[in-house]
Structure 1
Amino acid sequence: MSGVSLAVAPRSEPDQTAAPPHQKQRARQEQAPAGGLMGSLRVIELQLVAFIMVFSASGLVPLLDLVFPAFTSAYLLALSRFAFPSRGSVSSGSQEIFQGSRLFRLYVVIGTTVGLFLPLAYVLGGFARGDEHAVRSATPHLFLLSFQILTENVISGFSLFSPPVRALVPMLYTVRRIFVILDWVNDVWLNKSLPANAHIKDTAWFWFGRGLAVANLVYFSINLFGFLIPRFLPRAFERYFRERESGEMYAKAAEDKRSATDTAIPATTTNKFHSQTADKKTD
């Protein structure tokens, strides 16, 4: 997943209606920092929109990567309409599909640092140093990751999108970004060389770019093949089909209850008629 959306995603909270007053007050105090995080998330979304606009206008993102978010968004809308329609029974407080441990969240924070913050610093440093090669190599990855985070955060707030559709967002973007990162690795390892009389700062910058490209390739490959495919996607489908099954059972129970009510009404009318007839005969 993107990292930012997981790190601040809303968690399912137990029902506090029957809790004592002191427990309700403690729950409100614990939920206050979460509101601050969600407010920070809105700021992050605005920053991502700014990054996307800058990257799109810079001419550093290939046409295929510019078109990919539009195609992905249209495909997700089609899936949510025809293949995996939402049941509309998921509350806004239980949108998180996967609730990991503290160790897993540390893994997510590391991925956010390696995948978003360090590449952004690398691109900004490339602008400052006049290293157009570094900027051009890392910008497509940053563009796609920014769109991925923005898409995840936007659709997580709408019940229109079912869990499988939301799980496919990081899947599709991560698959595409792995190919983009492979191009990044190829650029910094094969197409860029260090001058023989390079200074220490230039050498450190050169190897920082190489190490960052390899770190992104390793992390997101592990993320795709070790988490998204074997764990996250099955969890999303399991939740979706469980919700659909419970919805069908509820609809069937409501239909049976309505049928029983409709059957009971004529029976009551018939008993009342027989009772009135018996009374007349008695008279």
Structure 2
Amino acid sequence: MSSSDDDSINEIDSPPANPPTGAGAGGSFITFPNLNCLAIIIILTSTGMVNLKDLSFAVFSLIYLYFLSKVAFPTLSSDPNHSPPPVFGETNKILGLYVLAGAIIGLFIPMAYIFEGIIKGDKDGIKAACPHLFLLSCQVLMEGLTFYGGFSLPIRVFVPVFYNSRRVMVIVDWIREEMWKMDHGDGGGSRVYVGVGIGILNMGFWSFNLFGFLLPVYLPMAFKKYYLVNKDL
């Protein structure tokens, strides 16, 4: 990941396995996208819109990540500047467009919806959408950490699979809450329909991402490359 706009989109779900040419472990972790996500995490947490369960999940994922990196999938090279081979090659335009779509659907649209609700004073109305945005922001930070920390490919895969699995459940709760508001006439006008639409859009995209891309495609390819390198060593 670099500080350029093209590289910054490569931090949603599978991207760190495809670093820009010349990038390796040991680079700068604090980038503009990471700072944005950190700001989102701080704002949502400080306003009380993130529950203890999701905070605990984020902390546990960090601890478990380090456990896996030491016990199950250590970095195979002792060279601190070594970067594992990219899963999909140095450049992949189709993957780049797919990642950009994920950033727009999962990050920018919910962020605009939530911040508009904050401005309008609709704190209760946006609470159901906050866990997804919080967890996706945590995921982006974790993906940057695993890439620039020089972690192995299986550890990099762990982050999007782990977080995507959790976020699918969170989005189900989001849609259920919005539907409840519609049924009981407690939706604040047209915003409830917007909330339902954004929730359904995210449910479709991230369900496909998990069950159609991460598990059947990205995960096997990453493990194959990891063990091929292990065999060569």
Residue 158 (structure 1) aligned to one of 137, 149, 157 = 149
In structure 1, distance between residues paired with 2:224 and 2:128 = 39
In structure 1, distance between residues paired with 2:102 and 2:197 = 14
Match of 1:119 in 2: 110
- Against the structure 1 CA distance between its residues 82 and 181, is the aligned structure 2 distance closer, same or farther, given a 3 Å change threshold? same
- Against the structure 1 CA distance between its residues 39 and 169, is the aligned structure 2 distance closer, same or farther, given a 3 Å change threshold? closer
**Deviation of the 1:45 alpha carbon:** 0.9
Asked if 1:237 is matched to 2:223, the reply is yes
SS at match of 2:31: helix
Question: Could you say which structure has the higher helix fraction?
Answer: 1
Match of 1:63 in 2: 52
In structure 2, distance between residues paired with 1:195 and 1:64 = 28
* Uncovered stretches (5+) of structure 1, i.e. residues with no partner: 14-33, 248-283
In structure 1, distance between residues paired with 2:126 and 2:86 = 34
**Deviation of the 1:61 alpha carbon:** 1.2
- Against the structure 1 CA distance between its residues 43 and 92, is the aligned structure 2 distance closer, same or farther, given a 3 Å change threshold? farther
- Against the structure 1 CA distance between its residues 8 and 113, is the aligned structure 2 distance closer, same or farther, given a 3 Å change threshold? farther
Match of 2:42 in 1: 53
Match of 1:76 in 2: 65
**Deviation of the 1:9 alpha carbon:** 4.8
Q: Is the 8 A contact 1:7 1:109 kept in 2?
A: no
Asked if 1:10 is matched to 2:1, the reply is no
**Deviation of the 1:44 alpha carbon:** 1.5
Q: Is the 8 A contact 1:12 1:96 kept in 2?
A: no
Match of 1:44 in 2: 33
**Deviation of the 1:3 alpha carbon:** 5.3
What amino acid sits opposite 1:164 in the alignment?
P
- Against the structure 1 CA distance between its residues 114 and 85, is the aligned structure 2 distance closer, same or farther, given a 3 Å change threshold? same
In structure 1, distance between residues paired with 2:29 and 2:224 = 31
In structure 1, distance between residues paired with 2:157 and 2:86 = 10
Match of 2:130 in 1: 139
In structure 1, distance between residues paired with 2:159 and 2:153 = 10
Once the two structures are superposed, the pairs formed by residues 1-283 of structure 1 within 5 Å of their partners are 4-5=10-11, 6=15, 9-12=18-21, 42-88=31-77, 96-99=86-89, 101-159=92-150, 161-193=151-183, 202-203=189-190, 205-247=191-233
CA RMSD of aligned residues (A): 2.8
- Using CA pairs under 8 Å that are at least 6 residues apart, name the structure with larger relative contact order, 1 or 2: 2
SS at match of 1:130: coil
What amino acid sits opposite 2:192 in the alignment?
F
What amino acid sits opposite 1:53 in the alignment?
I
Q: Is the 8 A contact 2:73 2:155 kept in 1?
A: yes
> TM-score under structure 2 normalisation?
0.83
* Uncovered stretches (5+) of structure 2, i.e. residues with no partner: 1-7
What amino acid sits opposite 2:155 in the alignment?
V
Matched residue pairs, number? 217
Structure 1 runs (4+) greater than 6 angstroms displaced: 38-41
**Deviation of the 1:94 alpha carbon:** 5.2
**Deviation of the 1:130 alpha carbon:** 2.1
1:22-48 Cα deviation digits (max 9, x unpaired)? xxxxxxxxxxxx9xxx99970121121
1:247-280 Cα deviation digits (max 9, x unpaired)? 0xxxxxxxxxxxxxxxxxxxxxxxxxxxxxxxxx
**Deviation of the 1:12 alpha carbon:** 4.9
> Which structure has the bigger radius of gyration?
1
SS at match of 1:98: coil
In structure 2, distance between residues paired with 1:133 and 1:4 = 32
In structure 1, distance between residues paired with 2:94 and 2:16 = 12
